[in-house]
Amino acid sequence: QTDDSRAALIPRYIRVNTNCWTIDEAVQAFISRGYTLTGPFEANGFRFSTGFAKDEHIPDLLAFHPSVRFVDDPLYQAGKIILQDKASCFPAHILAPPARNDSVVIDATAAPGNKTSHLCALMRNRGKVTLFDWSVDVCVLKPCSCQLFAFERDRKRFTTLKTMLSRAQCHNVEPVNSDFLTISPEDPIFSRATHILLDPSCSGSGIVNRLDHLLETEAQMDGEQDRLNKLAAFQLMMIRHAMKFPSVKRIVYSTCSIHATENEHVVRQALESEEALEGHFKLAPPKEVLPLWNRRGLQDEMVHPVDALSLVRCSPGEDATNGFFVSLFVRTDRAREGAD
Ligand code: SAM
């Protein structure tokens, strides 16, 4: 299959930004423009370029014909719609931060910010963060409720992140231009984190126009394996760091890679790490991880093949998405485990 034929199988997805309006209002707006709401998107595409559908897995996601463009659309410019592939909506949906007063969420690798604004919408944009009170001599952490911290280490990408968050009208997000790995889990501000989303830099090999069939020679493949090993070591470090936060209960780790090296192998090593054993982290059961999605992790790549059922994979084109991988680590209840 060529990249073009794969791309033709991927609808143009837009996530309705519920910070600004409801899915029903968005559907009506598209109908009034001449689009027709149809049944679910099928692998062979919509019959008409004016058809659109509500996604069956992600609430607030709409699928349009692959030929439709929204980049210049006033709704996009106004932040009312977010251009986001379906698979890229899975991490925030699976992390499922509650819009409650006691949840504190970290997006550890945030720019350009699509998943951050998704988390913000799921939290119903609640809880204004004011980190420092400059009205007194010493910086004081002001009490606040439900809140979201978005880390981005790259300065340029941090600027993009801030622009995107402002356009998406995210009011409960505190963007932080820092390396997540330098943040102390004991820091009084961040130690309260209950949910962490990790979507670190990866090979990007699942993105349809970057697929790995371009690697032809053995030397190229050797170089690529070396690069993947380095990425995997960094990805594992990020998960182990997230597991050190004392209040964290749920950690989502995702990549847009198709390689087991960056996916199942990283998860496998994270489960065996000191941090996972000490913190009692396990993979969430399959019923908590997008249960209606059929494509799961690669069984042969896990120590316990059954663990693969807890992992979500997307095959580029074949699943009407880019290639993607998602896992959910949860802290298990020690007392209950002892009683079982
Ligand atoms: N989650 C983003 C989204 O959906 O819009 C995409 C994230 S992108 C795959 C990874 C980002 O993490 C890059 O912008 C990179 O600069 C940033 N990053 C990588 N390592 C980091 C670290 N240790 N701390 C903070 N940001 C990091």
Q: Which residue's CA is the closest to the ligand 1 atom numbered 16?
A: 154
Amino acid at 54: K
pLDDT of residue 339: 43
C-alpha radius of gyration, the chain, whole number? 20
What DSSP element (H or E) covers 271? Answer: helix 264-272
Say how many Å lie between the CA of residue 325 and the centre of ligand 1: 16
Residues 6+ apart with CB under 8 A from 249: 194, 195, 330, 331
Q: Is 152 annotated as a binding residue?
A: yes
pLDDT of residue 135: 53
pLDDT of residue 137: 52
- Closest ligand 1 atom to residue 118 Cα is 4
Task: Answer whether 313's CB lies under 8 Å from 241's CB.
Answer: no
Fold of 88-339: Rossmann fold (3.40.50)
Fold of 3-83: Alpha-Beta Plaits (3.30.70)
Q: Check if the interface score ipTM surpasses 0.85.
A: yes
pLDDT of residue 340: 41
Question: 254 CB under 6 A from ligand 1?
Answer: no
Sequence ranges of the domains in the chain? 3-83, 88-339
Is 256 catalytic? The answer is: yes
Ligand 1 pocket test target in 201, 205, 262, 321 with most atoms within 8 Å of CB: 201
Q: Which residue's CA is the closest to the ligand 1 atom numbered 17?
A: 109
Helix 218-242 vs helix 264-272: angle between axes, to the nearest 10 degrees? Answer: 40
* 275, two tokens: 């941090």
Question: What are the per-10-residue average pLDDT scores of the chain (340 residues)?
Answer: 74 96 97 89 65 94 92 96 97 94 91 98 79 52 69 98 97 95 96 97 89 62 88 98 98 98 98 98 98 98 97 93 97 61
